[in-house]
């Protein structure tokens, strides 16, 4: 007959207290994580767009707000700020003595005029987002779309004029 062996261990009571304390600490940390991930802050110049599983739910106004943790996501859209897009150059450092970087952006500013001359036209568009829902969900790649539309419009305007008009008299019309 086979002899049965007892593989039970004598666990000291201090070890049971330690494991109970570790479990309590882990549950407490998870609870704190859930509470802190439930609240978020929307800045004064933004609107928070809340999505639940990718579907639009609502807009959140500036201030402290609540969301369902790990289910709701918030995207911040700057609706009270004037945004800008630069063509032909980029601002390297903004401030009192701003510096600009032109290398690598010449292709978007070189345009063929109506009299078949080449003009280097640099410009800036300024815009504001009125409806964050339409901005996020109704247009695919809104920033690229805005850049493409602006560049197309400028190329059409410059292409309809002579190089002299673009540089001198028609400069105000182009702007």
Residue 73 confidence class, pLDDT cut points 50, 70, 90: very high
Domain assignment present for 50: yes
In this structure, the answer to whether residues 100 and 65 fall within a common structural domain is: no
Reply yes or no on whether the pLDDT at 112 is more than 60: yes
Kindly provide the b/e burial profile for residues 140-170, where b requires at least 16 CB atoms within 10 angstroms of the residue's own CB.
eeeeeebbeebbeebeebbeebbbebbeeeb
- Arithmetic mean of pLDDT over the chain: 88
pLDDT tens per residue, range 27-69: 999 999 988 899 999 999 999 999 999 999 999 999 999 999 9
Are 170 and 91 part of one and the same domain? yes
Question: Does residue 7 sit within a domain?
Answer: no
Range of the domain at 23: 13-78
Is 168 in the same domain as 88? Answer: yes
| Domains contained in the chain, number | 2
Output the pLDDT for position 8: 67
pLDDT at 15 over 80: no
Evaluate whether residue 3 is within a structural domain: no
CA atoms 154, 159, 163, 166: torsion sign = negative
Does 89 share its domain with 148? yes
Q: How confident is the model at residue 81, as a pLDDT?
A: 94
Task: Tell me, yes or no, whether 5 lies in a domain.
Answer: no
């Amino acid at each position: 007959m086979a002899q049965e062996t007892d593989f039970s261990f004598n666990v000291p009571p201090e070890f049971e207290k330690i494991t109970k304390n570790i479990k309590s600490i882990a549950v407490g940390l998870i609870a704190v994580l859930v509470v802190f991930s439930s609240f978020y802050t929307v800045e004064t110049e933004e609107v928070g767009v809340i999505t639940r599983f990718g579907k639009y739910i609502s807009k959140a106004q500036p201030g402290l707000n609540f969301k369902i943790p790990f289910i709701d996501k918030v995207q911040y859209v700057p609706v009270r700020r004037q945004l800008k897009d630069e063509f032909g150059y980029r601002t390297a450092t903004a401030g009192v003595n701003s510096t600009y970087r032109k290398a690598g952006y010449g292709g978007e500013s070189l345009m063929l005029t109506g009299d078949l001359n080449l003009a280097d036209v640099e410009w800036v568009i300024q815009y504001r987002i009125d409806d964050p829902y339409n901005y996020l969900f109704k247009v695919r790649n809104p920033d690229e779309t805005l850049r493409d539309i602006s560049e197309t419009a400028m190329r059409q305007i410059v292409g309809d004029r002579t190089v002299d008009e673009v540089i001198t008299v028609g400069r105000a019309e182009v702007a």
